[in-house]
Structure 1
């Protein structure tokens, strides 16, 4: 008979090993997501905004540098008993540069109190314990679609970034490939190619000759619908589609299009989007901030894939498949709201820059934390994903914290 042993807790063991399998932390994913938001998510948001220039871009520049969340002012239990929010204050080091004189001013600014995750993975909002449910969303990236016309598939594609203009490609029954930018009027895809890469018809034909193996020459069909005869004409044509009624000049068009596609503040695939595009198109573009903006290699690869699919008639991507969906955890959901608030604060700061004396202004006079605090609190108070925790029993509480939902924005 095995020797009987008793551990410190009074549990009796007859086996050779008296250890019990350690229960894993079943909400570790939520805690890690929140920690990532606190450690790196905020710095990424500040990096996207830096620098905040005045409207002229020649007088003042505001930069957010180091930041720190201090300890919460109350305990979780005290907040629940007194109908308070369990929150922590955020302090940020802000640098203001006077571009005229070269003077640099630094100041630590209190940027408000923000709901803080408890050790149990919950949030206490006005005395009520809430859970942020993870969201199941369509992943960013590129998806290839198909429309059936007269019994034949004609293929297209959708580029879905984290932020910025969507691009939607489609093939017409006459074989021409068109693109819609931000759901505006469509233009021939070769017009966009000319505008962005400044190439001529001969170079376009040369780029796609290796995939033009079918009965229909899709490149030629698209060029026939392309009325632009050079890069400058293409820029103006795209500009007119995006800004009908505005005066179209080459400089205006180039400036707007470059900002729309190649400015990281306005266009970002996101890490997941860049990864998915690389995987779907067989690219090896580095997943860095510089390469998360629109790339010409992406455009050429997408058009080649559309032509290949038009020739082979393969099945299009299933946009509802789970392989084309991903989970947004609490850190990413809160970061989204924090970014919304920071963009409001940015506009506020730029307005203040234009109304103050640049010699005497300080960072504290330009930074207003209220829009940021309001945006984050609005999420916890009214979002479909920030739910009152189910406290029926411990198991229902745990399952609520691990729940997935397809509700909410995105």
Structure 2
């Protein structure tokens, strides 16, 4: 039976089986809000265009004689209406002017330092006409109505994967990737020999310890960061270690014996928290460490006899070395516990690999500082053939990941990094920190040792929407970067007095103009609007494309990226996708979904309490959804909202599970 819904001057029949109190939202709100936030500031937030200009300015010449500052932008009014623009075959747009301030500095002739401001000149410069969105959320470009399709692309942040090795059969290779919105990609990967390497922008890989040395960490600091250290004592022909160094709630790999040789816990039994508490109350401080496990461990600190180094740090222990230690009367030494839970010897192997890597470089560069050599090694990998000094190499490494001008994770990337790695770095820090890189390597080590969770790159928590405002901001940024380089080159080559120089002599808007028009006229995401009927028009504007700049390439995309994913439920239509090459790469947003400020798609859910569906509607992202038990909308309920039946088919973290209704 249908339900009659009275509207203004007619009745509407509702045939839905599942009752809903959700109204169909404004289907074009995503496009409208995105472009408005690009052009205009709202609720005290900077507009997208302001952010882009501020990321490029101020521009300064090499000799600190001139500074070019951005002082604001303003939009004029459109000359023509939408109808007139279509009839005349022109672009419906508004003029953009930017205020630029040119500062000339007084300089000390001897020291070359700034003494004060010599002159300030401010000028409004016309940049170009910016296409304006119509009320139908389309654009009129040269008289033709076009739509900019939303892009569904990989979210910045950190992602961990496992892949089959191309060299060894039945072996999995684990990788971690730190993906920025702008800047160099950083990869961490194991090879088939379980050595951990770092790779920047898919260039040649280097042992991961070279990256840490280039970040100015000493060998001992790196060991302490990644491994628990264990003090070993030699007493009564036995090796003893502190009881406190053992992992709780783990099965023992050896018989646990006290210093007198009494067995406390058999091998294979679990060392529970309760047992630990009991043994501590009995004042157990040291336990026996079997020699067969001690062999092949590595020293965490050098073994010294007086001022002479007997065995260096990272030396691998064998019977001969242990005898040597005893013969010289050394009773205690410190080892690296690479057998601890979630650890392996990959960093130790990386040290061995980096020794070989730096050995030749040390001879050619004639530098003893290994940290400086590591920075030079990275510079040579990234810029082969370029001459390099120690200072240049260190600055190069710093700018790669820690300079806001060259590297940007965005707030989304920072949120993803913090969420995945359990960090508490503030949102406004959108460059990498040392803690980010160290924690990423630690987590990858955990994954290799079955203690971490691998990511699904097709999960909608790892993909986000870039709407028209963000896409245009990225294009504008690339145009401004070219302009910035031109201005710097011009200032470097100029000689003589700068007194007659004006801002418009430096700012060349051609690069910005060509970038913006190329985006609207030739970009893969800017398309002729489908005008078959009003419904196809709305559908076109709600389309999602995984293609386009920074997206996937359809010739190289496998089946997994095209397939329907469990997180698409309530967010992306599983049916509406084209046939042929683009299948699964072009999708459409579902009716009731919405997109949050960070670009993640949210689906509406009804809360269930004690088996009863409540009236409250909650919107969840795919990441938030993972911590809930999700039942389908078609679950049978009675008139009061109670779920019928005791067992219900539900989805938990992407897996279909039968659950009791009270859950």
TM-score by length of 1: 0.90
Q: 1:199 aligns with which of 202, 210, 217?
A: 217
Paired residue for 1:140, among 145, 156, 167? 156
Q: Is the 8 A contact 2:208 2:347 kept in 1?
A: no
User: Would you say 1:355 and 2:362 are equivalent positions?
Assistant: no
Aligned to 1:224: 352
Q: Cα distance, 1:61 vs. partner?
A: 1.1
Deviates more, 1:96-105 or 1:294-303: 96-105
Paired position in structure 2 for 1:386: 526
Give the equivalent residue in structure 2 for 1:50. Answer: 57
Over the aligned positions, Cα root-mean-square deviation in angstroms equals 2.2
Q: State the shift of 1:109 in Å.
A: 1.3
Computing the radius of gyration from Cα coordinates, the structure with the larger value is: 2
* Alignment check: 8 A CA contact 2:446 2:452 kept: no
Q: Which moved further from structure 2: 351-360 or 320-329? A: 351-360
Structure 1: how far apart are the matches of 2:499 and 2:169? 70
Deviations 1:2-45 (A, max 9, x none): xxxx99x7x278xxxxxxx9864211111110011112111111
| Corresponding pairs, count | 393
Output the CA distance in 2 between the equivalents of 1:188 and 1:97: 46
For residues 28-77 of structure 1, give each alpha carbon's deviation from its aligned partner in whole angstroms, at most 9, with x where no partner exists. 111110011112111111111121112x2411111112111121121111
SS at the partner of 1:268? coil
2:534 and 2:344 mapped to 1: Cα distance?
63
- Residue of 103, 119, 138 corresponding to 1:122: 138
Q: 1:395 to 1:162 in 2, by over 3 A?
A: same
1:12 and 1:133 map into 2 onto residues whose CA distance is 35
The answer to whether structure 1 residue 61 and structure 2 residue 67 are counterparts is yes
Alignment of 1:205-216 (within 5 A): 205-210=223-228, 212=338, 213=340, 216=344
Pair 1:394–1:147, CA change in 2 (3 A): closer
Q: Any residues of structure 2 matched to 1:152-167 within 5 Å, and which?
A: 152-167=171-186
Determine which of 342, 346, 354 is the counterpart of 2:484: 346
Alignment of 1:275-314 (within 5 A): 275-288=415-428, 291-312=429-450
Given that residues 411 and 427 in structure 2 are in contact (C-alpha distance below 8 angstroms), is that contact kept between their aligned partners in structure 1? yes
CA distance in 2, matches of 1:178, 1:351: 37
Moved more, 125-134 or 57-66: 57-66
Asked if 1 retains the 8 angstrom alpha-carbon contact of 2:57 and 2:70, the reply is yes
Tell me if the contact between 2:443 and 2:452 (Cα under 8 Å) persists in the aligned partners: no
1:246 and 2:386 aligned: yes
- 1:313 Cα deviation from its structure 2 partner: 6.8
Unaligned 5+ runs, structure 1: 1-5, 14-20
Answer yes or no: is 1:318 the counterpart of 2:459. Answer: no
Q: What are structure 2's unaligned runs of at least 5 residues?
A: 1-5, 12-21, 41-46, 107-115, 229-336, 359-368, 551-663
Q: Deviations 1:326-358 (Å, cap 9, x if unpaired)?
A: 111000111111112211222222233233641
Structure 2 counterpart of 1:17: none
Equivalents in 1 of 2:194, 2:536: separation in Å?
A: 56
Aligned pair in 2 of structure 1 residues 187, 22: CA closer, same or farther (>3 Å)?
closer
The 2-side partners of 1:141 and 1:348 are apart by 32
Q: Deviations over 1:268-306 (max 9, x none)?
A: 112211111111111111111xx2112101111011011
Which residue of the partner structure matches residue 25 of structure 1? 26
Alignment check: 8 A CA contact 2:156 2:409 kept? yes
Q: Which moved more, 1:154-163 or 1:349-358?
A: 349-358
Shift of residue 315 of structure 1? 5.8
SS at match of 2:494: coil
Question: Does 1 or 2 have the higher relative contact order (CA < 8 Å, sep 6+)?
Answer: 1
CA contact (8 A) 1:114 1:377 kept: no
Secondary structure of the equivalent of 1:280?
helix
Q: Secondary structure at the match of 1:178?
A: strand
Task: For 1:316 and 1:206, locate their aligned partners in 2 and report how far apart those are by CA, in whole Å.
Answer: 26
Task: Give yes or no for the alignment of 1:37 onto 2:175.
Answer: no
Alpha-carbon deviation of 1:373?
A: 1.3
| Match status 1:263 vs 2:391 | no
Query: C-alpha distance in 1, partners of 2:124/2:452?
Result: 58
1:176 and 2:195 equivalent? Answer: yes
